[in-house]
Amino acid sequence: MQALILAGGKGRRLRPYTVSIPKPLLPVGERPILDILLTRLAREGFRTVYISIGYLGEMIRAYVGTGSRYGLRIRYLEESRPLGTAGPLALLPKPKNPFFLLNGDLLLDVDFPAMMKVHREKKNVCTICTYRKEEQVQLGVLRLEDEIVKEYVEKPSYSFHISTGVYVFHPKVCSQIPGGKVLDLPALVNRLLRNKEKVGVYHHDGIWMDLGRFDDYARAEEVFRSDPERFLGRIRGPRRGKARRHAGTEVRR
């Protein structure tokens, strides 16, 4: 399997931490989040990983290197200017098989091989990994019909299927991305839908955390330390080189 990791953002919401360190290299449990992610990909059977870099990209390149310590072949795609979350697909060498695209600031225990299996079996052009999230409105909410109140609910909770920032794409999608243009993933997915392409989902019911805000970052530190191996993954496929292993305690969720 192959993956493209998006690691070119500036991480503005985590400043001042990200003034001198790119967000994917921020430590979680004394390990950069990108290190955790690459270790998991290697253990899940990935062989080649592309990393799109921009802001402080040389620090990422210096830390990760060729990927040999993970048993991966790492290749870098340099964004001369920010291209959005889908624009870097235009930089990807033409793939022959379905591939993953994922954000570089995620702490998760997604079963990548299972997601790829769903993508292939459903013959999707795009498969989005989703996560059910509940949000509570901190106010009283009124349900109206013709200016008449039909229901008054105090601080209701609503459930949504959200994107986790993990996708599988058919190879042909890359040829549809304009080079050098800013394009985000919602716009790409909506374009696929307008073109009557099949976009499916893979439901993830494990742990998923986006390290975009300070409270998320602090929580991720706590969750990772409770069970590192859950996020580092178990070894499934053949690897080249010597990937590092770290002991951890299994904690069931």
Q: Which of 117, 133, 155, 172 is an active site residue?
A: 155
Q: Which two tokens stand for residue 116?
A: 């790829």
Q: Which two tokens stand for residue 244?
A: 């590092």
CA 243 to chain centre: 21
d(CA 114, CA 224): 22
- State the DSSP H helix or E strand holding residue 163, giving kind and residue range, or none if neither: strand 157-169
d(CA 198, CA 182): 23
* 137 phi/psi in degrees, rounded to 5: -80, 120
Strands 73-78 and 148-154, sheet pairing: unpaired
Strands 48-53 and 140-145, sheet pairing: unpaired
d(CA 77, CA 81): 12
Catalytic status, residue 155: yes
d(CA 56, CA 74): 17
d(CA 97, CA 110): 20
**Would you call 81 helix, strand, or coil by DSSP?**
coil
The CA distances from residue 190 to 102, 130, 221, in Å, are 18, 16, 34
- The catalytic residue positions are 155
